[in-house]
């Protein structure tokens, strides 16, 4: 022992607690109370008090793990310091860790590194959940768990980047059971298991977990069950997300907490912690997986196997030398994927869990592995070498640790090279707008209060790229395929992309039946816009002056259909878009409508049907008032801007409401004006008047007060007086060469524009009219 560096980190105390609602001494503890109680037990385990603690890291409470989750009874504004007040501690540093079941193990490794370099001597990791009490105490007389202890706090945020994506949100793929179910079906597809065999294997994997949980007093569900009990769907064991019935998924309604106390060898000696309580981390690793859709094999977990492999290697042991282990077990795939990679049998005699796992022991979400580490420490004290594998996200993050009471130097380990190796594996291409024949790679049908929610992972036949999709609401054929006797995996489907997401059907005809292609043509009346055809000119007026012409989805759809018609009609040569009234061109997105509806989306043409469209004909923005946010983005998408010299004001104020100009503003504005000024406008959200916009080159022409439409019509008349073919091909060449930096290369760029001119009737007409000294008669041919 004397050879150990005084700064060597060791675990000296662990504590676990439960507050079941059916217990005679049920305390109605808050999550902070539960975490603090487990911390008291950890301190008592080490035989010390809280006064020496210099760092407390709190595991993020499950109910505050997303930006839109709000604990119904309130919560502490500084959880680690609330814990500290309860245990007589006054730490210099307080941390709230990011989301993920990997966080307890990752914190052990991180805080150990802090001790090794002298930035900490005594650190506590603690977390608690009271979700069972939240449901039990709902209604009259519910408690208030809000508190504000003040003090320093290092809030690390949610850490959800790469775990939650816009594509997943648009397809309703937000809940953990559905995402893990997709991975589970992908694994059974790779292994060639039918649904019956898959269900049986999951039950056989988790049945031993229930036996372990039945022997632990703190378990939320201490009942041993058979494999059939777990895998057979009944009224009690309902299907949550195919292939998972309730008995195979993590249990969230628990009141449990756990804590781990670390300190340096020097501190342990100073505080007289008995050496038989000391436990060492012999190896550890922390790795991150690719985002869900990028993974080459949805049913595998390279990050998990690599993290465990690195931890074992640093500890100098093989998996066969591990005496006991706990593999994070929120869903069967989280365990079986590791078993696949490490060659572990589901019935390994050592067992795959120390606690009984998340579905049976409990310890939900972020804090479960604190319980696993506490159990590992107790096993290590009895002479065992123990492996803990902690999983976070959707098999997105994995932390592993090897624990033993055998004295060892701290395993300073960098996961950089292992992480780089994971990242060099080629990702699967993702189709942003999939259209065409595809095959089903994975799927799930999740049951909820609003009916079944279906998510499909597909691969396009033509290119192999992957996509997420849902069926159309009224498509019973797809639901029958996914829930019937036939095998859905590998089935052929037809996919179509829409602004709101991708949709699959069994045939192309069925897709057209359920979502007919919109008919082109101008209607007599519209609800949210006004349309006027004046010869070759189309005038589109956003007609929502009561909300400063802000746009919601119905207005977007009307504009998108009108500009589809404009592009397709050879007799329409120029379009003018403006806003009703004299106050606003368009104030952007209608946030009130967005707040009261579902997730916002735009049609394929983009905001206002324009910002994502490759325009082939001139569009003039007649800016008659304020042009903010998406309205400014419409103006940037237009070829020409006529602005009222007094009323027009331009701004991208999205940053002021927690958004950014994602409909093209942050892309187009820095390409149109000096970058430093563009950055000023984008990053502050400030507005500028028409004069400044004109000086910057954003405005084609200034119009006198109230004369915007007159000036826009005059400009349109100048354009329709020239060859529409020449105008169209000029725009085409501008677009074709926009990305070519070298001027000569751009001039020499091969294009078929001149080829088109050679066979154009308008070209010949222009030359003849000039020779004959007469006005040309353009035909757009």
Sign of CA dihedral 622, 625, 628, 631: negative
Residue 300 CA to residue 173 CA, distance in Å, equals 19
Element (H, E) at 514: helix 508-514
CB 597 within 8 A of CB 641: no
Angle at 773 between CA 771 and CA 776, to 5 degrees: 90
Query: Residues 6 or more apart from 439 whose CB is under 8 A from it?
Result: 458, 459, 461, 490, 491, 492, 493
- Largest interatomic CA distance in the chain: 109
Cβ atoms of 330 and 249 closer than 8 Å:
yes
Active site residue 378: no
Q: Which two tokens stand for residue 428?
A: 């699967």
Residue of 546, 654, 765, 772 with catalytic role: 654
- Measured from the Cβ of residue 444, the count of other Cβ atoms closer than 10 Å reads 26
Sequence-distant (6+) residues with CB within 8 A of 484 are none
Structure tokens at 242: 């195919």
For tokens 């400009």, what's the residue? 715
Q: How far apart are CA 547 and CA 544, in angstroms?
A: 6
Candidate list 37, 121, 289, 633, residue with the active-site label: 633
**C-alpha span between 32 and 451 (Å, rounded):** 36
Rounded CA separation 35/59 (Å): 9
633 labelled catalytic:
yes
CA nearest neighbour of 564 among 614, 515, 529 = 614
Report the candidate in 4, 2, 257, 3 with the shortest Cα–Cα distance to residue 115.
Answer: 4
Distance CA 231, CA 198 (A): 9
**CA separation for the pair 461, 626 (Å, rounded):** 47
Tokens 């049920």: give the residue: 26
**Residues forming beta bridges with residue 532, ordered by sequence position:** 539
DSSP-derived secondary structure letter, 97: P
Phi/psi of residue 316, nearest 5 degrees: 75, 30
> What is the rounded distance in angstroms from the CA atom of residue 59 to the CA atom of residue 65?
10
Helix then strand count (H, E) for the chain reads 26, 27
> What is each CA distance from 696 to 112, 328, 644, 650, in whole angstroms?
55, 57, 16, 12
- Residues recognised as catalytic: 633, 654
């Amino acid at each position: 022992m004397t050879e150990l560096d005084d700064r060597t980190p060791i675990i000296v105390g662990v504590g676990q607690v439960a507050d079941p609602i059916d217990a005679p001494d049920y305390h109605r503890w808050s999550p902070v109370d539960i975490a603090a109680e487990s911390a008291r037990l950890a301190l008592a385990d080490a035989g010390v008090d809280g006064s020496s603690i210099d760092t407390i890291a709190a595991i993020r409470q499950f109910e505050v793990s997303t930006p839109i989750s709000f604990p119904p009874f309130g919560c502490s504004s500084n959880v680690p310091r609330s814990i500290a007040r309860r245990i007589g501690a006054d730490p210099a540093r307080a941390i709230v860790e990011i989301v993920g079941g990997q966080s307890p193990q990752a914190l052990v490794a991180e805080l150990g590194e802090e001790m090794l370099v002298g930035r900490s001597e005594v650190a506590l990791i603690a977390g608690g959940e009271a979700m069972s009490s939240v449901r039990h105490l709902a209604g009259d007389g519910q408690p208030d768990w809000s508190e504000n202890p003040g003090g320093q706090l290092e809030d690390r945020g949610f850490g959800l980047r790469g775990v939650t994506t816009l594509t997943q949100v648009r397809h309703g793929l937000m809940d953990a059971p559905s995402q893990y179910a997709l991975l589970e079906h992908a694994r059974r597809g790779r292994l060639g298991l039918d649904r019956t065999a898959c269900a049986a294997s999951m039950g056989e994997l988790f049945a031993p977990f229930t036996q372990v949980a039945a022997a632990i007093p703190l378990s939320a569900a201490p009942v041993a069950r058979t494999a059939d009990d777990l895998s057979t769907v009944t009224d009690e064991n309902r299907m949550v997300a195919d292939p998972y019935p309730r008995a195979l998924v993590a249990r969230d309604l628990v009141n449990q907490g756990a804590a781990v106390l670390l300190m340096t060898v020097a501190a342990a000696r100073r505080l007289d912690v008995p050496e038989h309580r000391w436990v060492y981390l012999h190896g550890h690793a922390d790795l991150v997986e690719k985002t869900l859709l990028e993974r080459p094999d949805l049913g595998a977990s390279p990050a998990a196997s690599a993290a465990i492999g690195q931890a074992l290697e640093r500890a100098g042991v093989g998996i066969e030398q591990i005496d006991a282990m706990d593999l994070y077990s929120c869903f069967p795939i989280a365990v079986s994927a590791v078993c696949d990679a490490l060659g572990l049998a589901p019935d390994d005699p050592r067992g795959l869990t120390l606690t009984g796992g998340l579905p049976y022991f409990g310890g939900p979400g972020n804090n479960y592995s604190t319980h696993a580490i506490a159990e590992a420490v107790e096993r290590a004290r009895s002479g065992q070498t123990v492996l803990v594998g902690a999983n976070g996200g959707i098999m997105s993050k994995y932390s592993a640790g090897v624990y033993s009471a055998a004295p060892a130097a701290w395993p300073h380990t960098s996961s950089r090279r292992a992480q780089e190796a994971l990242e060099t594996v080629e990702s699967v291409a993702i189709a942003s707008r999939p259209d065409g024949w595809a095959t089903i790679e994975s799927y799930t049908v999740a049951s909820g209060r609003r009916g079944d929610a279906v998510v499909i992972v597909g691969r396009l036949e033509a290119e192999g790229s992957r996509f997420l999709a849902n069926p159309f609401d009224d498509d019973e054929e797809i639901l029958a395929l996914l829930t019937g006797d036939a095998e859905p995996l590998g089935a052929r489907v037809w996919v179509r992309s829409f602004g709101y997401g991708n949709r699959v059907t069994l045939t192309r005809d069925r897709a057209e039946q359920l979502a007919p292609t919109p008919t082109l043509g101008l209607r007599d009346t519209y609800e949210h816009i006004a349309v006027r055809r004046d010869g070759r000119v189309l005038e589109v007026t956003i007609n929502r002056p009561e909300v400063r012409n802000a746009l919601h989805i119905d207005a977007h759809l009307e504009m998108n259909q009108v500009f589809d018609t404009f592009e397709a009609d050879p007799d329409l040569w120029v379009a003018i878009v403006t806003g009703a009234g004299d106050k606003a061109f368009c104030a952007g997105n209608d946030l009130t409508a967005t707040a009261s509806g579902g997730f916002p989306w735009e049609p394929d043409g983009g905001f206002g049907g324009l910002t994502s469209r490759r325009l082939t004909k001139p569009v003039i923005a007649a800016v008659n008032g304020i042009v903010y946010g998406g309205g400014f983005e419409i103006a940037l998408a237009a070829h020409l801007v006529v602005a009222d010299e007094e009323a027009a004001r331009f701004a991208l104020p999205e940053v002021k409401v927690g958004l950014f100009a994602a409909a093209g503003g942050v892309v187009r504005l820095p390409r149109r004006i000096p970058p430093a000024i563009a950055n000023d406008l984008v990053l502050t959200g400030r507005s500028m008047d028409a004069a400044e916009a004109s000086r910057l080159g954003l405005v084609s022409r200034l119009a006198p007060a109230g004369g915007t439409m007159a000036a826009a019509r005059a400009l349109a008349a100048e354009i329709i007086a020239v060859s529409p073919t020449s105008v169209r091909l000029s725009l085409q060449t501008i677009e074709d060469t926009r990305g070519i930096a070298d001027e000569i290369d751009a001039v020499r760029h091969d294009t078929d524009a001149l080829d088109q001119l050679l066979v154009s009737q308008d070209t010949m007409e222009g030359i003849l009219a000039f020779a004959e000294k007469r006005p040309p008669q353009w035909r757009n041919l």
